[in-house]
Amino acid sequence: MQQRAERMDAARDLVQRNSPAEAARLLAERYALSPGQARRYVRATTNASPLAQAAIKDPVTVRIPRPLLARLRMRARRTGRSLGALMTQAVASWLDKTPD
């Protein structure tokens, strides 16, 4: 999964500075990919809708107190949601309510 994310990020960066064909060539060279595989990475970055782009998630490490983590884990078990989903919801809610 990390390898795919790294290649997608590279493809996205390359497409911003080059034509799709050149981006695919450079990506194939950098990661020893077949030309077809490199084109698929480039196509995936250029065809993604804004909604799909918003759904791309990056990993974040957060240190929180153990009692709070225990509460979070209990909520996750009770609701059937992941820790990440609960954290995302909490952070988004806090950002929406807190003035800049």
- Domain residues for 73? 66-97
Q: What percent of the chain has pLDDT over 90?
A: 45
Does the residue 49 lie in any domain?
yes
Domain count within the chain? 2
Does the residue 93 lie in any domain?
yes
Does the residue 70 lie in any domain?
yes
DSSP-assigned letter for residue 32? T
With 0-12 / 13-18 / 19 or more C-beta atoms within 10 angstroms meaning exposed / middle / buried, residue 37 is middle
Question: Do 27 and 10 meet the contact criterion of CB atoms below 8 Å apart?
Answer: yes
- Distance from C-alpha of 97 to C-alpha of 100, rounded to nearest angstrom: 10
Instruction: Quote the pLDDT of residue 48.
Output: 58
Instruction: Quote the pLDDT of residue 59.
Output: 83
For the segment 86-96, what is each residue's pLDDT rounded down to a tens digit? 998 999 899 98
Ranges of residues in the chain whose predicted pLDDT is under 70: 1, 47-56
Residues 45 and 12 in one domain: yes
Return the closest-CA partner of residue 52 out of 43, 39, 65. 43
Residues 27 and 70 in one domain: no
Does the residue 60 lie in any domain?
no
Q: How many CA atoms lie within 13 A of 7 on its CB side?
A: 22
Residues 47 and 72 in one domain: no
Which conformational region is residue 82 in: left (phi greater than 0), alpha (psi within -120 to 50 degrees), or beta?
Answer: beta
Residues 47 and 22 in one domain: yes
Calculate Rg over the CA atoms of the chain: 19
Residues 14 and 36 in one domain: yes
